């Protein structure tokens, strides 16, 4: 089960997640986020993960896609700080390396 709460302050939409980010709940959260992006272009997004208890691989993949699009995260606890660290490390490793040669 996952509770998704959203609120808007100034030009920022914040999602607060509570519970387990797994399976169908990942898809539901993604639907909410995509709909908000389409409806409110230019809005900044933040996600409060303080009360998330578990994240499966689909959830990690979604958080990684959101991170790549500039979403800010508040992990709020040691468990989610660790998960977000892994996601950020993966994102850095997957970025194309730019090599330049000076002659």
pLDDT band per the 50, 70, 90 thresholds, residue 90 = confident
d(CA 51, CA 2): 10
At residue 59, the pLDDT reads: 97
Measured CA distances, 1 to 14, 16, 25, 79 (Å): 19, 14, 7, 18
Question: Residues 24-32: what's their mean pLDDT?
Answer: 97
Q: Is pLDDT of 94 > 60?
A: yes
Please state the domain extents for the chain.
2-94
d(CA 5, CA 43): 17
At residue 55, the pLDDT reads: 97
d(CA 78, CA 1): 21
Please check whether the domain covering 2-94 is classified as CATH 3.30.750.24. Answer: yes
DSSP 101: -
At residue 80, the pLDDT reads: 95
At residue 92, the pLDDT reads: 83
């Amino acid at each position: 089960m996952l509770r998704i709460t959203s609120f808007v302050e100034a030009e920022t939409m914040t999602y607060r997640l509570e519970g387990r980010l797994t399976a169908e709940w990942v898809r539901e959260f993604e639907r909410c986020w995509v709909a908000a992006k389409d409806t409110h272009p230019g809005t900044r997004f933040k996600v409060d993960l303080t009360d998330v208890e578990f994240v499966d691989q689909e959830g990690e993949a979604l958080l990684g896609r959101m991170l790549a699009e500039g979403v800010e995260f508040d992990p709020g606890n040691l468990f989610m700080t660790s998960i977000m660290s892994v996601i950020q490390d993966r994102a850095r490793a997957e970025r194309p390396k730019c090599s330049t040669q000076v002659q």
